[in-house]
Structure 1
Amino acid sequence: MILKRLSTLSQKVSKSVTRNFSSSKIHKTATASYIHRVEDDPLKFLTFGQCLKNIANRYPDREAIVSCAENSSITFAEALDKSDRLASGLLNLGLNKGDRVGIWSPNYEFWYISMMAMARAGLICVALNPAYTVPELEYCIKKVDIKAIIAPEVFRKQKHYNMLTSLIPDMANSKSGSNDWDNTKSSLKKVIIKSDKKLPGAIQYDDLIGLASEADLKSVEDIQSTISPDSGCNVQFSSGTTGKPKAALLSHFSMINNGYDVGLRHEFHKMHARVCLNNPLFHVYGCIISIANALCHGATLVFPAPHFSPEDSLKAIVKENCNVIYGTPTMFVDLVAKQKELNINLPQIELANTGGSICTPQLVKDVVNVLNVKKFKSVYGLTETSAVVFQSLPEDANESVEEFVGACNSHLEVKIVDKDGNSVPFGQPGELWVRGYSTMLGYWNDPEKTNEVLGSDKWFKTGDQFILYENGYGKVSGRLKEMIIRGGENLFPREIEDFLNTHDNILETHVVGIPDDRMGEEVAAFIRLEDNTKPVTRDDIKKFCHGKLAHFKVPRYVIVVDEFPRTVSGKIQKFRFTEVFADKLKEAIGNKS
């Protein structure tokens, strides 16, 4: 039955590929899994700042952003004006081209404006997860020498301003509206807070925008030609097996062209897309698949809430007449469940797009039928490839997202190799390597880690086990890395393991991903105790992690074991955990259900 279904899907995909690849050339070899997709449409040598100016001239009165929680919206013309005013403010603070500025916030209008302002000022935007704890934030600041941070005063339980004062104690004793404190211990010199309050040691975001003169705006426009599309634009933190996040530097060129290609596959050039955006802006999904795409094609991004809220999203779809929905599979599971509960009269949705993991057949049916979606598409990629490497084509059958991650992107080369780096035949599994315009410039100030994944031949080693077909389609068949994908968040066990091992009664920790219907995977920590007479429970671990590890990294399941399965050479066999510890795991899952 499964083989028959796969065969049917392959036939549907093949027909779709024939229709959609008619205007492009696919270069491939007869004996090896290698494809190079070439398009007549050339790559665009543009910066984010130039794209914003172009789209503002083309659609000055079209909404760029709608922020439902803030009850606000701005047009592309207004976005350009605000961005230039903030850009001039940042430059007047003494920041220089190439300096790193962090945005530490959930989805607000000022996130979008701040990113655009940095692009217009020639600064590098550092996207920071708003759930970061103080130690995680401090690591990021030091890693890339962040000079300034823009953040809300508080969001839910995250008191951003107070957390920053714990890093910089002198802030609290400084004058409001100024950064006259002396922070000699780190690179951070400026703190900009979005708040109605005048907070000690911080500059008000609105004040910084309001200070710009016409001469300042002209100066920002004058420097646009001096900002190279090849220069760094955005730093994305990507966790690694060393236990510490790596800072991937992406260029204007890679991000703009990747976003443009996503929009073409979504056929945004044929409609005014109004996108209900559920994904966080700090992720490449937000920065590239959403923002860069929207800039290239004049799409409107609707923020239903600062953080994902299924009910708010459904209401925003109706109120703002959204015709596109973006989200991870987990988000779509929650949207479907909430729609079944509320039964809102949803408009026809032209397209829903997801990424992060393969969708189940039931989820595909539910998205189409319950959310009133015509086309359900998927993307696959990595932070280091400026988001997307494979994605669905416009006429693909909705069912294709159950098995395939789409077709190879335009202007990219992909190949599948064995453990020795030799290409394998089409249809055989191996590691996916990618080469082209979208690969990162490198990990910030880390040539050793960069060289591990990006060779002198410019092939980027993804670490994902993949199968490539002659028609240009591919699917993930496993992971060579130990990455856990939980609700679209990429988690790496080593970081969690290293932290849990600092517990005074934990001798050894190993973390694995456990399949979960809603989240895709959940985090399970298998631990050996130093003293078995002192039990360690999941609640104990939760308290231990509080304020030190982001909430999504905290293990949902904690299983205490006496020993781990190992090879004869002593290496841990994680792939055997679910088999060897089946009873303990079943009990842990049962206790949480």
Structure 2
Amino acid sequence: MTDILPAIPTIPRLLEQSARRYANSVAIEDGDLKLSYADLHLVAKIAARALMALGVEQGERVAIWAPNLHEWIVSALGIHLAGGVLVPINTRLKGAEAADILARSGVRVLISIGDFLGVHYPDMLAEHAIPSLEHVVVLRSARAGQTSWQSFMTLAEGVPEAMQQQRSAAVAAESPSDLLFTSGTTGRPKGVVTAHGQNLAAFAAWSDIVRLQAGDRYLIVNPFFHAFGYKAGWLAALIRGATILPHQQFDAQAVLRRIATDHVSFLPGSPTLYLSLLAHPQLGEFDLSSLRIAVTGAANVAPELVQRMRQELGFESVFTAYGLTECCGLATVCRPEDDVQTIATTCGRPLPGVELRCVDGDGNSVAAGTPGEVLIRGFNVMQGYFDDEAATREAVDRDGWLHTGDVGIVDERGNLRITDRLKDMFIAGGFNCYPAEIENLISSHPAVAQVAVVGVPDERLGEVGKAYVVLRTGASLSSESFIDWCREHMANYKVPRAVAFVAALPLNASGKVMKQALREVAAR
């Protein structure tokens, strides 16, 4: 890593360095707009000064709730240049879910999309109390009385550039760079705090391994609110001098068209993304000759899929990786020399400087090839959960090992294969779904007495949720109306795709729902 890039301690330093190194290269193409690296640096500094004009202080949290747009990146870099902490909000969340994160993180400034997916996003917060929130900046389709992106940027005129430079210079490698909320087994999202230096070190190494390079045209379909789209996405592109091509929503035909017209060379995504492209009836009509590198993860990949990605989509190399939000989103990755079987059946080896081991129920390391809980230790482990010391101590032990809750096997060559989960989490189309959180949301339905959600196999999405519901006495509810209600009250990927109404849930002697029994029923 150090042979190619010098150590970069902070994102402000990274942007400054990349603006010099790749000054005239295109950093972002978003529709008709093209921003060079030099111009991106300039506009990000304006955004930083505008945030400072709103009173944003060093270390203050600022949220972004928007799809993949060039303004998202400019806003995030502005937050970092102002010494702030980025809080990305999932665009699939409903008002109550987003308001909870905003309130708990004490956000005063929210940068939000206006109209998206048939909804005006600021309206979704209108009925929810967020005591700290003072300013909402609307990126596009601002309404009368709202602060538009354009008017927000003019606020920079009131802040001298020297003040912004001082603020950026005060950011250190250990300064928190972001606060990403990830759900836990308690059913309530937890905020993961990571720092500038560890994120940059992780994704400089990742970029080396997967051969992301200057001049690559990187179509980022993975959402910016997720570590895959943010850190392995535009942040890695800025490290390498690649061109960022933001994409707002996945649609197979639209992505195929963009590959052909925008000459996309670098395309990470979940296995579902590639399966959808391969299944498209007009696949052969698109010129995919520009494709070079694919990076995937979040689920095991069939060897046949890797072969088809190479043969039918034309990728030179396919990489698989593993990580979780609590370790900057990255822990292991396959290497260029790995064979198809290794790429498809493992998540590769740890990053340089990262340790990995699997342990039994007593915390003892297990032999190679033996299943155990996956533990990670290294520079990439989070600083902790926001305002939750107890949860932090539970996740990261005294010796610095992060307990992932995933069950895996490490082979003789050090490659990791994820085999199961200690927790009940399932992954739908690349999104982590936590049954306890979904169950908490469903429990507010007036007809529901009890509910348990489990992940079940799905050909297209990998896994989807199935709900087992005990109705209140005298209540009636159809499957269709139940699922429609869920779609109104939670992000789409969390919505159970099937429901079974049962007289009672299977419980163990201590009164806990036996999820494995439900999985076995679902598998019949």
Same fold (TM over 0.5): yes
SS of residue matched to 2:260: helix
Separation (CA, whole Å) in 2 of partners of 1:81 and 1:145: 29
Matched to 2:153, the amino acid is: I
Aligned with 1:254 (options 182, 186, 198): 198
SS of residue matched to 2:280: helix
Separation (CA, whole Å) in 1 of partners of 2:159 and 2:98: 36
Which residue in the other structure is 2:156 paired with?
A: 212
Separation (CA, whole Å) in 1 of partners of 2:441 and 2:161: 47
Matched to 1:190, the amino acid is: H
Q: Deviations over 1:373-416 (max 9, x none)?
A: 11111110000000111101112223423210111111111111
SS of residue matched to 2:127: helix
Runs of 4+ with >4 A deviation: 39-43, 339-342
SS of residue matched to 1:349: coil
Closer, same or farther: CA 475–449 of 1 in aligned 2, 3 Å: same
Aligned with 2:354 (options 402, 412, 435): 412
Q: Deviations over 1:222-257 (max 9, x none)?
A: 332211110111111100111110010111111111
Matched to 1:216, the amino acid is: P
Which residue in the other structure is 1:563 paired with?
A: 504
Separation (CA, whole Å) in 2 of partners of 1:536 and 1:361: 43
Q: State whether residues 487 and 520 of structure 1, in contact with CA within 8 Å, keep that contact through their aligned partners in structure 2.
A: yes
Q: State whether residues 61 and 84 of structure 2, in contact with CA within 8 Å, keep that contact through their aligned partners in structure 1.
A: yes
Which deviates more, 502-511 or 96-105?
A: 502-511
Closer, same or farther: CA 389–76 of 1 in aligned 2, 3 Å: same
Which residue in the other structure is 1:31 paired with?
A: none
Which residue in the other structure is 1:476 paired with?
A: 418
Aligned with 2:278 (options 336, 345, 356): 336
Matched to 1:573, the amino acid is: M
Which deviates more, 220-229 or 446-455?
A: 220-229
SS of residue matched to 2:292: strand
Closer, same or farther: CA 43–385 of 1 in aligned 2, 3 Å: farther
Q: State whether residues 375 and 398 of structure 1, in contact with CA within 8 Å, keep that contact through their aligned partners in structure 2.
A: no
Matched to 1:244, the amino acid is: R
Separation (CA, whole Å) in 2 of partners of 1:283 and 1:578: 28
User: Offset of 1:72 from its aligned partner?
Assistant: 1.8
SS of residue matched to 1:229: coil
Q: State whether residues 538 and 556 of structure 1, in contact with CA within 8 Å, keep that contact through their aligned partners in structure 2.
A: no
> What do you get for the CA RMSD once the two structures are aligned?
2.1
User: Offset of 1:164 from its aligned partner?
Assistant: 3.3
Matched to 1:486, the amino acid is: A
Larger Rg belongs to = 1
User: Offset of 1:581 from its aligned partner?
Assistant: 5.0
Whether 1:449 and 2:383 are equivalent positions in the alignment is no
Q: State whether residues 59 and 85 of structure 2, in contact with CA within 8 Å, keep that contact through their aligned partners in structure 1.
A: yes
User: Where does structure 2 lack aligned partners over 5 or more consecutive residues?
Assistant: none
Closer, same or farther: CA 428–223 of 1 in aligned 2, 3 Å: same
User: Offset of 1:211 from its aligned partner?
Assistant: 4.1
Percent identical pairs in the alignment equals 28
Which residue in the other structure is 2:470 paired with?
A: 528
Which residue in the other structure is 2:14 paired with?
A: 51
User: Offset of 1:45 from its aligned partner?
Assistant: 4.8
Q: State whether residues 377 and 398 of structure 1, in contact with CA within 8 Å, keep that contact through their aligned partners in structure 2.
A: no
Q: State whether residues 26 and 37 of structure 2, in contact with CA within 8 Å, keep that contact through their aligned partners in structure 1.
A: yes
User: Offset of 1:210 from its aligned partner?
Assistant: 3.4
Matched to 2:32, the amino acid is: N
Which residue in the other structure is 1:114 paired with?
A: 75
Matched to 1:447, the amino acid is: E
Whether 1:79 and 2:21 are equivalent positions in the alignment is no
Q: Deviations over 1:505-564 (max 9, x none)?
A: 222111000111110101100112223x64422322233224421121111100112233
Whether 1:579 and 2:524 are equivalent positions in the alignment is no
Aligned with 2:211 (options 251, 255, 267): 267
Aligned ranges for residues 322-471 of structure 1 at < 5 Å? 322-338=264-280, 340-341=282-283, 343-471=285-413
User: Offset of 1:568 from its aligned partner?
Assistant: 4.2
SS of residue matched to 2:99: helix
User: Offset of 1:186 from its aligned partner?
Assistant: 0.8
Give the TM-score normalised by structure 1. Answer: 0.84
User: Offset of 1:372 from its aligned partner?
Assistant: 1.2
User: Offset of 1:141 from its aligned partner?
Assistant: 1.0
Separation (CA, whole Å) in 1 of partners of 2:54 and 2:509: 60
SS of residue matched to 2:244: strand
Q: Deviations over 1:404-453 (max 9, x none)?
A: 01111111111111111111112211011111111111111111111110
Closer, same or farther: CA 325–339 of 1 in aligned 2, 3 Å: farther
Separation (CA, whole Å) in 1 of partners of 2:299 and 2:43: 36
Aligned with 2:144 (options 195, 199, 206): 199
Q: State whether residues 263 and 291 of structure 2, in contact with CA within 8 Å, keep that contact through their aligned partners in structure 1.
A: no
Which deviates more, 107-116 or 312-321?
A: 312-321
Separation (CA, whole Å) in 2 of partners of 1:342 and 1:214: 54
User: Offset of 1:323 from its aligned partner?
Assistant: 1.1
SS of residue matched to 2:361: coil
Which residue in the other structure is 1:235 paired with?
A: 179
Which residue in the other structure is 1:34 paired with?
A: none
Whether 1:298 and 2:298 are equivalent positions in the alignment is no
User: Offset of 1:196 from its aligned partner?
Assistant: 5.2
Matched to 2:10, the amino acid is: T
Which residue in the other structure is 1:180 paired with?
A: none
SS of residue matched to 1:387: coil
Q: State whether residues 53 and 159 of structure 2, in contact with CA within 8 Å, keep that contact through their aligned partners in structure 1.
A: no
Separation (CA, whole Å) in 2 of partners of 1:288 and 1:580: 39
Separation (CA, whole Å) in 1 of partners of 2:250 and 2:318: 20
Which deviates more, 283-292 or 544-553?
A: 544-553
Which residue in the other structure is 1:226 paired with?
A: 170
Separation (CA, whole Å) in 1 of partners of 2:522 and 2:396: 37
Whether 1:314 and 2:275 are equivalent positions in the alignment is no
Closer, same or farther: CA 215–580 of 1 in aligned 2, 3 Å: closer
User: Where does structure 1 lack aligned partners over 5 or more consecutive residues?
Assistant: 1-23, 25-38, 169-184, 584-593
Which deviates more, 469-478 or 487-496?
A: 469-478
Which residue in the other structure is 1:102 paired with?
A: 63
Aligned with 1:542 (options 453, 459, 483): 483
Matched to 2:118, the amino acid is: K
Q: Relative contact order, CA 8 A, sep 6+: which one is greater? A: 1
Matched to 1:555, the amino acid is: P
User: Offset of 1:214 from its aligned partner?
Assistant: 9.8
Closer, same or farther: CA 456–199 of 1 in aligned 2, 3 Å: farther
SS of residue matched to 1:291: helix
Aligned ranges for residues 17-32 of structure 1 at < 5 Å? none
Which residue in the other structure is 2:111 paired with?
A: 150
User: Offset of 1:570 from its aligned partner?
Assistant: 3.9
User: Offset of 1:197 from its aligned partner?
Assistant: 4.2
SS of residue matched to 2:330: strand
Which deviates more, 337-346 or 132-141?
A: 337-346
